Amino acid sequence: MKRRALLGAGAAALGAAGIGWSLLTPKRPGKLLRSRAPLPEPFAARLVVPPVLTGEEIIQREADLHILPGLTTRAWTYNGSFPGPTVVTRSGRAASLTHRNQLPESVVVHLHGGHTPAGSDGYPIDEIMPEGESPGTTHHDMAAMAGDMTVGRRTYRYPMNQRAATLWYHDHRMGFTGPAVYRGLAGFHLVRDDEEDALPLPRGERELPLMITDRAFEADGSFRYPTGDSAYMNGVLGDVVLVNGLPWPVHEVDPARYRLRLLNASNARRYQLELDPPPPGGNAFLQIGSDGGLLQRPIGHDSLAIAPAERFDVVVDFGRYKPGAQVRLVDRDGGDVMRFDVTGAGRDDDSAVPQELSRTVEPLPPPARVRTFRFNQGPDGTWRINDLEYRPGRALARPRLGEVEHWRFVTDFHHPIHLHLNHFQVVSRNENGLGAYDHGWKDTVDLRASEAVAVAVRFTDYTGTFMLHCHNLEHEDMAMMADFVVEA
């Protein structure tokens, strides 16, 4: 099946015709899609924290959600909610999770940031077909026939040989990731360990996982995703910002420190997050962790630039505001995200942020090999890596298990680059030092136009086929992915 035809079928995940991507080169990163439904006033909805998963099974199914007032939104969900339930595991303690597929389309599950064997990594053609379907009747047989397909369910095995971190899980099916995630297939996965537990960081009700997404809606409340419109090949931007699945919510906080686990789960939108008003003295966000867990020491920021799939673990001290203050979390380029209302009462704050957080962020040794990956667009309109559009089974690199390599990413456009299997360390940006948000262990790096970013990585524990790709989901679906094979 030709790649363009396969990608065109992706919009069927929203019950619509194929996406007619243009051959024209886009001029900017993403295009705004406006809702046809009346939009609610900001700060009318109360923030909801996703429930923690009990048991070892998640059912993927359709559900009617109440996102906009007076309307229902038919979503694809994990266990009936968006975001899905938060999975909590412990470092060094192996976990298994079974996904059952009761949706009308095949799915794939990727634990983003997971240090996971190849068979459980969510390779894009390792599909879980709908319950009751067979390979001879699947809608995507030509795309999936080379993959490790299962019918109805699949058990993913996670050894959890990794440090505490904010991970997330989402759909990863070839050519269909954008519409599937847009429709609701995303959830948190938190890993905990003894090192982090020993720190006096905010916890309990003062630890908030916040999934930030943007969506557009049809007049009847259903998700609006572009079909047959070439203008959106560079990324879909919605006009409604959701936090944990609700539009511009509000949350009451004590005058105390809070730990915010910030995840940008949008298809293509970048956010420049700030607090309005900023706290006295600056450094509104005290960053304690990145994609791969705790930093060596905290870093203060007045603003956070967060690209799709990146996570920032920050502490905000609402005790720096007067009781009764209303503090907006805003996107400097796009308006409101949510609001925190500081109450005048609350338990004493016995939390603190130590000057040393972790001793496991030592620089990797010099590389055994340097590789360059160019992210560009081909003459046929597909997004490519090293001038090649994605083809399952074609490896662009074969790193050796345990060896350190430097991977150099270059582009003439804007791409968030995600690497599977192991976290990496950014070593340079445009041959200079690190950017403000490049510290710690990461699995996604924001690669801006006309930049070259070098990362150091050492693949450990597992051989097999893994992936490197852009995490602008429309770019990913338009072939900006590549295999690499870790060899013994």
Tens of pLDDT, residues 87-119 = 999 999 999 999 999 999 999 999 999 999 999
pLDDT in tens, 188-230: 999 999 999 999 999 999 999 999 999 999 999 999 999 767 7
Domain 204-342: CATH superfamily, name plus number? Cupredoxins -  blue copper proteins (2.60.40.420)
Domain ranges of the chain: 3-197, 204-342, 369-486
CA distance 20 to 229: 6
Residue with tokens 């709908």, as numbered in its chain? 130
For 373, the enclosing helix (H) or strand (E) is strand 369-377
Residues 6+ apart with CB under 8 A from 348: none
Side chain identity at residue 364, one-letter code: L
List 86's β-bridge partners, or say none.
52
Distance spanning both ends of the chain, measured CA to CA: 33
CA distances from 431 to 231, 283, 428, 444 (A): 34, 27, 5, 19
Residue 378 scores a pLDDT above 70: yes
pLDDT in tens, 175-185: 999 999 999 99
Share of the chain above pLDDT 70, in %: 91
Looking at domain 3-197, which of 3.40.390.10, 3.40.50.920, 3.30.70.360, 2.60.40.420 is its CATH number? 2.60.40.420
Residues 6+ apart with CB under 8 A from 217: 35, 36, 37, 67, 68, 71, 73, 223, 224, 240
Cβ neighbours around 450 below 10 Å, total? 10
Main-chain dihedrals φ then ψ at residue 394, nearest 5 degrees: -100, 110
Name the 3-class secondary structure at 152.
coil
pLDDT in tens, 240-270: 999 999 999 999 999 999 999 999 999 999 9
Share of the chain above pLDDT 90, in %: 84
Class of domain 369-486: mainly beta
Residue 38 scores a pLDDT above 70: yes
CA distance 364 to 454: 13
Q: Could you write out the DSSP letters of every residue in 24-75?
A: SPPSSS-EEE--SSPPPPTT-SBP-PPPBP-SSEEEEEEEEE--STT--EEE
pLDDT in tens, 117-174: 999 999 999 999 999 887 655 444 444 456 889 999 999 999 999 999 999 999 999 9
Question: What does DSSP assign to residue 245?
Answer: T
Bridging pattern class, strands 207-215 and 240-243? antiparallel
**If you average pLDDT over every residue of the chain, what do you get?**
91
CA distance 56 to 65: 24
Total H helices, total E strands in the chain: 5, 34
Residue 11 scores a pLDDT above 70: no
Q: Which two tokens stand for residue 430?
A: 């445009």
Q: What is the pLDDT of residue 334?
A: 85
Q: Same CATH fold, 369-486 and 3-197?
A: yes
Q: Which two tokens stand for residue 354?
A: 């130590």
CA distance 371 to 454: 9
